[in-house]
Amino acid sequence: MSSQIDHTYAVILAGGGGTRLWPKSREKSPKQFLSLVGQDTMVQMTANRISKLVPWERIIVVTNEKYRKQLETQLPQVPPSNIIAEPQKRDTALAMLVGALYAYTLDPKAVVINCASDHVVGDEAEFVRVMQAAATTAGQDPYLVTVGITPT
């Protein structure tokens, strides 16, 4: 019998348009592609963090078509087939749905963790512990588990 963690996928939402951190973030270089905290870009930090929970082949990135090449360059460990590029900007809920539906085509027992590509997480060990618990809970029954913190 396989554990629930064997069916866990991560969807990284990386389609931001560079409008909320102006002037540093622009349309051609939205904040997910900037190195704001450390050497890695925000999307690299997110993918590295989530790779402690799921293998790279179970990481799915949903983005805008204009960012596909940047993502393939910045995240060479993610299979190109797992980078889903929307032809035009849509909303977060649709991106999450597209990522989840893709995960279910790969594994009908998939449990999906949605992650923003531009969050800073200070305690990665705690993040991994909480996400593992959330994935386990979500996989036991048809639960929707939401994890959040008070932003600072």
The DSSP secondary structure of 51-68, one letter per residue, reads TTTS-GGGEEEEEEGGGH
Please report, to the nearest 10 degrees, the dihedral formed by the alpha carbons of residues 100, 103, 107, 112 taken in order: -60
Contact 126, 51 (CB under 8 A): no
- Tokens 């622009």 belong to 26
60 - beta bridge partners?
Answer: 11
β-bridge pairing 83-86 and 111-116 = unpaired
pLDDT in tens, the chain (152 residues): 345 568 999 999 997 655 555 555 445 566 788 777 889 999 999 999 999 999 999 999 999 998 899 999 999 999 999 999 988 777 888 999 999 999 999 999 999 999 998 888 889 999 999 999 999 999 888 778 888 877 77
Q: Is the pTM of this model over 0.75?
A: yes
- CA dist., res. 71 & res. 100, Å (int): 19
